[in-house]
């Protein structure tokens, strides 16, 4: 009975995730990034001014405002929906050699604590590799796993778990 | 099956720890099939000490599930000569424990204790047990061990200790406590996570994972001097320490060369060498009692399962095949079986599997149950569970019949591990 309820909740949440995520991460921010990319190249004079005004990292409308990558259960590969986000950060890091970022892998509480530590490390390392392939330098990157030890949401159901299966891109100040 | 057993036997007993600063309350569920009827008469001499010992001894024996306590009904012999056997025979008790206790001039506690066979009318044990001031529970545990060993033929584990992590908000404490959860001592307290405590075979040191350096690093700490050292602190994660039975090696899991792989090193961090080469996640190593092989968790086959490999290196063999995932394997002390966490249908079960037959059996009804470890006599299994929304410690007898919950005062108890005989 309980199992059934949980399964139903789980299915609903998965459905919700699947339908919401593209809106949150890809669809909306895709346009500003494309615009930024084409705008920066020709207008060099104005860009200098704009750059001092706003680091795109601090622009809440930029795709770079997204700092988390989410995963299904027991999966460490960056999902298609989150690839544009990681690629945008790779591009930013390649253009801003002074910026360093730490990838922090996290897991939901299912699985053993040690297995989740390993899984979180794999998640963080996966994002790190993608950033490197996208042009970031190894020296800008570091990865750490918190496993299931530092949950963002503490509930024992999918709505919490889905938030905890995550790699955070934590920029050094 | 287990559920039916528990429901049928369904005895629920609540033991209220009445000691002044009791940190725990304990619930026992179920009962063994053949319980030995015993009577424990509160010891004479210092009445307060006598009652304190009585509480510990009766609590230990009850929790084992192997004994039924027969009330002395007002009779209170303290010496063998004062025992009138027919009084006890009519009550159906088979063994009678009596004795006296006193505090010496140097405040040392000395208990003189006898156990008598009521049927044969002979003395089974006559022994003095002593301990330092304030160690009254240790005296009780020692007496319970003597009774247990005499009546069951197996060594008692009441005097052994357990280690676990208590999480309260963002604070983590590494705790060492008596096997019944009392006498908690804080080994380490910090606002960064602590994981995976592991006892050295002689009980003198704990290896564990601490995040105090910003990531998972393996530390070894003496429980006597409290000196500690980071023995594995490479980039990425350093974790899952496990001692070899001779105490000369630690198996650890490092990501310094890529994915989580198993390495061997000295407990001081020297002579590191990699022994698993899968490219998958290999973690939670556990030495066989003879020190020749390791059980571990790996996802090399797609899902987390239990594998075994020679310590000397070489091919690994998959051992668990049930639906779902399996984690956290640990050998039984006799090396004939292993206990592990089985995740199936969204529930965690504590399960055992026989090496020879490959037969797997769930010992618990399933729920939030993780990280099992055997008591050093192989008769009980300690694990992390959850009740009333909190992480708690629990034990189940190795036949699955008797289950007990230990509630710490606050916070979530996690990552428990049973220590060795001292």
Q: What is the mean pLDDT of chain B?
A: 90
Together in a domain, B380 and B262: yes
Domain for residue B53, yes or no?
yes
A150 vs B5, more confident:
A150
At B139, which CATH number?
3.40.50.10070
Domain for residue B362, yes or no?
yes
Is the pLDDT assigned to residue B307 strictly greater than 70?
yes
Instruction: Give chain B's domain count.
Output: 2
Q: Please tell me the least confidently modeled range out of B6-15, B84-93, B276-285.
A: B6-15
Together in a domain, B166 and B275: yes
SS3 B123: strand
For residue A63, what pLDDT is reported? 93
| pLDDT tens across the length of chain A (173 residues) | 444 444 444 444 444 443 333 343 333 333 344 444 444 444 444 444 444 567 888 888 899 999 999 999 999 999 999 999 999 999 999 999 999 999 999 999 999 999 999 999 999 999 999 999 999 999 999 999 999 999 999 888 999 999 999 999 999 98
Residues 6 or more apart whose CB falls under 8 angstroms from that of A167 comprise A68, A69, A71, A103, A104, A105, A106, A120, A123, A124, A126, A127
Domain boundary among B98, B123, B152: B152
Q: pLDDT confidence of B126, banded at 50, 70, 90? A: very high
Q: Are strands B390-397 and B403-408 parallel, antiparallel or unpaired?
A: antiparallel
Measure in Å the smallest separation between the Cα of B344 and chain A Cα atoms: 11
Together in a domain, B344 and B296: yes
Touching check for B240 and chain A: CB below 8 Å? yes
Domain boundary among B124, B152, B180: B152
Together in a domain, B138 and B209: no
Q: pLDDT confidence of B38, banded at 50, 70, 90? A: very high
Together in a domain, B413 and B288: yes
Q: How far apart (Å, rounded) are the C-alpha atoms in residues A110 and B376?
A: 28
Are B280 and B307 contacting, i.e. CB atoms less than 8 angstroms apart?
Answer: no
Q: B284, A125: Cβ pair inside 8 Å?
A: no
When CB atoms are compared, the residue of A6, A143, A147 closest to B236 is A143
Together in a domain, B210 and B141: no
Measure in Å the smallest separation between the Cα of A148 and chain B Cα atoms: 10
Measure in Å the smallest separation between the Cα of B405 and chain A Cα atoms: 20
Q: Is residue B140 within a helix (H) or strand (E), and if so which, with residue range?
A: helix B136-152
Closest CA to A87 of A127, A55, A138, A120: A127
Are B198 and B241 contacting, i.e. CB atoms less than 8 angstroms apart?
Answer: yes
Together in a domain, B135 and B184: no
Distance, first Cα to last Cα, chain B: 37
Q: Is residue B22 within a helix (H) or strand (E), and if so which, with residue range?
A: none
Listing from the earlier edge strand, what are the strands of the sheet with A166-171? A68-70, A166-171, A101-106, A141-147
Are A124 and A76 contacting, i.e. CB atoms less than 8 angstroms apart?
Answer: no
Q: How far apart (Å, rounded) are the C-alpha atoms in residues B224 and B341?
A: 32
Touching check for B242 and chain A: CB below 8 Å? no
Q: A121, B237: Cβ pair inside 8 Å?
A: yes
Domain for residue B11, yes or no?
no
Together in a domain, B229 and B212: yes
Mean of pLDDT values over B275-304:
96
Are B262 and B242 contacting, i.e. CB atoms less than 8 angstroms apart?
Answer: no
Domain boundary among B117, B152, B187: B152
The DSSP 8-state label assigned to residue A24 in this structure reads: I
DSSP B246-309: TSS-EEEEE-TTSS-EEEEE-TTS-S-EE----SS-EEEEEE-TTSSEEEEEE-TTSS-EEEEE
Together in a domain, B320 and B198: yes
- In terms of CA atoms, which chain B residue is nearest residue A150? B193
At B254, which CATH number?
2.120.10.30
Q: Each residue of B216-255: pLDDT tens digit?
A: 999 999 999 999 999 999 999 999 999 999 999 999 999 9
| Per CATH, domain A2-171 is 3.30.1330.60 | yes
- In terms of CA atoms, which chain A residue is nearest residue B345? A3
> A121: which chain B residues are within 8 Å (Cβ-Cβ)?
236-237, 255, 259-260
DSSP B395-420: EEETTS--EEEEEESSSEEEEEEEPP
Q: B297, A119: Cβ pair inside 8 Å?
A: no
Touching check for B379 and chain A: CB below 8 Å? no
Q: How far apart (Å, rounded) are the C-alpha atoms in residues B403 and B416?
A: 16
For residue B399, what pLDDT is reported? 86
Domain for residue B24, yes or no?
no
Q: How far apart (Å, rounded) are the C-alpha atoms in residues B113 and B110?
A: 10
Together in a domain, B112 and B190: no
Alpha-carbon torsion, ordered B321, B197, B265, B205, to 10 deg: -140
Closest CA to B45 of B97, B1, B110, B106: B110
When CB atoms are compared, the residue of B214, B260, B371 closest to A118 is B260
Mean of pLDDT values over B39-68:
92
Q: How far apart (Å, rounded) are the C-alpha atoms in residues B336 and B331?
A: 8
Measure in Å the smallest separation between the Cα of A69 and chain B Cα atoms: 19
Q: A149, B237: Cβ pair inside 8 Å?
A: no
Q: How far apart (Å, rounded) are the C-alpha atoms in residues A104 and A97?
A: 20
Mean of pLDDT values over B173-182:
93
B409 vs A16, more confident:
B409
- In terms of CA atoms, which chain B residue is nearest residue A115? B283
> B297: which chain A residues are within 8 Å (Cβ-Cβ)?
112, 114-115
Q: A117, B195: Cβ pair inside 8 Å?
A: yes
Together in a domain, B100 and B204: no
Interface predicted TM-score of the whole assembly (ipTM), two decimals? 0.89
> A110: which chain B residues are within 8 Å (Cβ-Cβ)?
343
Could you state, in order of their start, the residue ranges of all structural domains in chain A? 2-171
Domain for residue B340, yes or no?
yes
When CB atoms are compared, the residue of B236, B283, B325 closest to A114 is B283
Residues 6 or more apart whose CB falls under 8 angstroms from that of B173 comprise B165, B166, B186, B187, B188, B189, B194, B411
Together in a domain, B183 and B61: no
Structural domain span for residue B118: 35-152
Read off φ and ψ for residue B150, nearest 5 degrees.
-65, -40
Domain for residue B1, yes or no?
no
């Amino acid at each position: 009975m309980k199992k059934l309820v949980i399964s139903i909740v789980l299915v609903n949440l998965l459905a919700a995730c699947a339908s919401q995520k593209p809106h949150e991460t890809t669809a909306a921010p895709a346009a500003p990034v494309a615009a930024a990319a084409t705008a920066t190249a020709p207008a060099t004079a104005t860009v200098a001014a704009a750059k001092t005004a706003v680091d795109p990292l601090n622009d809440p409308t930029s795709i770079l405002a997204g700092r988390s990558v989410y995963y299904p259960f027991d999966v460490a590969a960056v999902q298609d929906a989150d690839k544009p986000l990681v690629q945008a950060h790779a591009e930013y890091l390649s253009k801003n050699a002074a910026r360093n970022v730490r990838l922090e892998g996290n897991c939901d509480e299912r699985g053993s604590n040690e297995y989740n530590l390993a899984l979180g490390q794999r998640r963080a390392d996966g994002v790190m590799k993608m950033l490197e392939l996208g042009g970031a330098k190894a020296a800008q990157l570091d990865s750490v796993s918190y496993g299931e030890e530092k949950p963002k949401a503490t509930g024992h159901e999918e709505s919490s778990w889905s938030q905890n299966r995550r790699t955070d891109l934590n920029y050094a100040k | 099956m287990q559920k039916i057993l528990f429901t049928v036997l369904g005895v629920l007993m609540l033991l209220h720890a009445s000691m002044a600063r009791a940190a725990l309350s304990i619930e026992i569920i179920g009962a063994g099939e053949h319980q030995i009827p015993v009577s424990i008469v509160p010891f004479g001499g210092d009445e307060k000490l006598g009652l304190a010992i009585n509480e510990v001894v009766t609590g230990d024996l009850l929790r084992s599930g192997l004994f039924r306590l027969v009330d002395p009904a007002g009779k209170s012999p303290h010496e063998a000569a004062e025992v009138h056997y027919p009084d006890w025979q009519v009550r159906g008790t088979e063994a009678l424990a009596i004795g006296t206790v006193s505090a010496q001039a140097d405040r040392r506690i000395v208990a003189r204790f006898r156990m008598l066979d009521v049927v044969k009318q002979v003395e089974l044990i006559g022994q003095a047990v002593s301990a330092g001031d304030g160690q009254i529970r240790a005296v009780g545990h020692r007496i319970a061990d003597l009774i247990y060993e005499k009546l069951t033929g197996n060594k008692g584990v009441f005097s052994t200790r357990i280690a676990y992590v208590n999480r309260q908000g963002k604070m983590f404490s590494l705790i060492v406590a008596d096997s019944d959860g009392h006498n908690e001592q804080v080994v380490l307290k910090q606002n960064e996570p602590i994981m995976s405590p592991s006892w050295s075979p002689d009980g003198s040191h704990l290896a564990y994972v601490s995040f105090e350096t910003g990531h998972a690093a393996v530390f070894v700490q003496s429980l006597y001097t409290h000196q500690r050292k980071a023995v594995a602190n490479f980039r990425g994660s350093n974790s899952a320490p496990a001692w070899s039975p001779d105490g000369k090696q630690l198996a650890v899991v490092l990501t310094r060369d890529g994915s989580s792989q198993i390495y061997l090193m000295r407990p001081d961090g020297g002579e590191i060498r990699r022994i698993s080469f899968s490219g998958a996640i290999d973690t939670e190593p556990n030495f066989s009692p003879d020190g020749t092989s390791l059980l571990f968790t790996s996802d090399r086959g797609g899902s987390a399962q239990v594998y075994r490999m020679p310590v000397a290196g070489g091919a690994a063999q998959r051992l668990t095949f049930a639906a779902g995932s399996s984690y956290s394997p640990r050998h039984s002390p006799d090396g004939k079986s292993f206990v592990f966490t089985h995740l199936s249908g969204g529930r965690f079960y504590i399960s055992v599997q026989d090496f020879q037959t490959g037969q797997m059996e769930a010992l618990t009804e399933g729920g939030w149950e993780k990280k099992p470890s055997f008591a050093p006599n192989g008769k009980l299994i300690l694990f992390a569970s959850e009740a009333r929304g909190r992480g708690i410690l629990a034990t189940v007898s190795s036949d699955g019949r008797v289950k007990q919950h230990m509630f710490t005062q606050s916070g979530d108890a996690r990552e428990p591990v049973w220590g060795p005989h001292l």
